[in-house]
Amino acid sequence: MTTLWPAPAKLNLFLYITGRRSDGYHNIQTIFQLLDYSDMIKIEINNSGDIDLLTDLINIPKENNLIIKAATLLKLKSKKILPLKTGAFISIQKKLPIGSGLGGGSSNAATVLVALNYLWKTQFTVYELATLGLQLGADIPVFIYGFTAFAEGIGEKIRPIKIKEKWYLIVYPNINISTSEIFSCFNLTRNNKNYNLQTLLHLPFSNDFEKIVRTNFIQIDNIISFLLNYAPTRLTGTGSCVFSVFDIESKAYDVLKLIPQSFTGFVAKGINISPLRKLFYEKLSNKSL
């Protein structure tokens, strides 16, 4: 049986670092805004016992890919109920650039956990899947829950929120930025005050990584400066994509036509419920989900 599953992008509408923990991780406050723009993951379950990613991704060895790690972890945690020869062949139609701040790798891993939980009939709850996902990456739980959310801690403390579904012009400058390297910058702001959500929603939105990224990547600085002439514009995540916010879809497309040809851009709608969440509720009447 072969099935197709979406792995949607996210934006960080704001991103603040509120402290560095003793384990080296950082506490943050952010809004994860989901988008109606997705990678698509095709999964064929098999009885060979093999878990294999059939799509080669540049500069990411298969054994280091979050897709393989997620499938392997789920199989390991389910070894008491799964037949030994349970496996899956996985391929991906990649739309979300790697290292862009759109959450592609985390979203891929989340989709694989949700999809294989259904296909293998392992019957983990959403909370249990999110707990597994957190072992692989702090952004994975929000994609498993599948709703736009306010997040704290390292990103794992999630509260669903509903906000106006606006249109976003996302511009990728064809640069990959390492999350670990950007977090290690000595001049990164790490001591923002913790505010409650209602206060944060009434403050100007910003991203603590943006100043560092704009200083070190002139192309990103230039495109942000350009887009600010047309709409509020910020960096998402740790980069390298930037996004502009529009109330009207056509205006986003008008500005898309103006970006330099050396950049990649697209327009997507912000959504409060992800296509992955909608799909698995359509597919299942499985009460555990």
Going by the annotation, the residues of the binding site for ATP are 97-107
Q: Is 139 tagged catalytic? A: yes
Q: Give yes or no for a contact between 100 and 179, defined as CB atoms under 8 angstroms apart.
A: no
Burial of 247 (0-12, 13-18, 19+ CB in 10 A): exposed
Name residue 267's beta-bridge partners.
169
> Binding site membership: which residues?
97-107
Residue 211 among the catalytic residues: no
Q: Which run of H or E residues covers position 160? A: strand 157-160
Phi and psi at residue 42, to the nearest 5°: -105, 130
Q: In angstroms, how far is CA 132 from the centroid of its own chain?
A: 16
The rounded distance, in Å, linking the Cα atoms of 106 and 135 is 11
Helix (H) or strand (E) holding 151: strand 149-152
- Among 231, 235, 230, residue whose Cα is nearest residue 217: 235
Q: How far apart are CA 165 and CA 238, in angstroms?
A: 23
Do the beta carbons of residue 246 and residue 166 sit within 8 Å? yes
CB 33 within 8 A of CB 1: no
Residue of 39, 69, 139, 208 marked catalytic: 139
Please identify every residue annotated as catalytic: 10, 139
